[in-house]
Amino acid sequence: MKKILIILSVILPLMSNAQVFDSSTKATTAQTTYGKVSGYIERGVYTYKGIPYAKAERFMTAQRPDAWTGIRSSRHWGPVCPQARNTGWRNDQTAFFYQWNDGFQSEDCLRLNIWTKGLNDGKKRPVLFWLHGGGYTSGNGQEHPGYDGRNLADKGDVVVVTINHRLNVLGFLDLSSFGDKYKGSANVGMTDIVAALQWVKENIAYFGGDPNCVTIFGQSGGGGKVSTLLCMPSAQGLFHRAMIMSGSFLGSTPQKEAREVGELTAWYLGLTSQTIDSIQHIPYERLLEASNKAFREVSQRHRDKKIGHGIRLGWGPVNDNDIMPGIFENGSERISHNIPLLIGSTLNEFSAPNIDERVRPAVIQQATLRSQPGDAPVYVYLSAYQVPTMDGNNHACHNSDIPFFFNNVLKSASMTGATKEGIALGDKMSSALINFARTGNPNAKGLPNWPIFTPNTKATMRFDAPKCEVIYK
Nearest C-alpha neighbor of 262 from the set 151, 187, 137, 173:
173
Looking at residues 381-393, what average pLDDT do you find?
96
d(CA 130, CA 219): 9
Kindly tell me if the per-residue pLDDT of 17 is higher than 60. no
Res 303: pLDDT: 74
78-110 residue pLDDT tens: 999 999 999 999 999 999 999 999 999 999 999
d(CA 338, CA 77): 35
Kindly tell me if the per-residue pLDDT of 16 is higher than 50. no
Give percent of the chain with pLDDT exceeding 90.
90
Kindly tell me if the per-residue pLDDT of 14 is higher than 60. no
Give percent of the chain with pLDDT exceeding 70.
93
Looking at residues 236-254, what average pLDDT do you find?
95
Res 312: pLDDT: 55
399-420 residue pLDDT tens: 999 999 999 999 999 999 999 9
Nearest C-alpha neighbor of 302 from the set 348, 346, 357, 258:
258
Exposed, middle or buried: residue 285 (CB in 10 Å: 0-12, 13-18, 19+)? exposed
Res 310: pLDDT: 46
d(CA 471, CA 317): 34
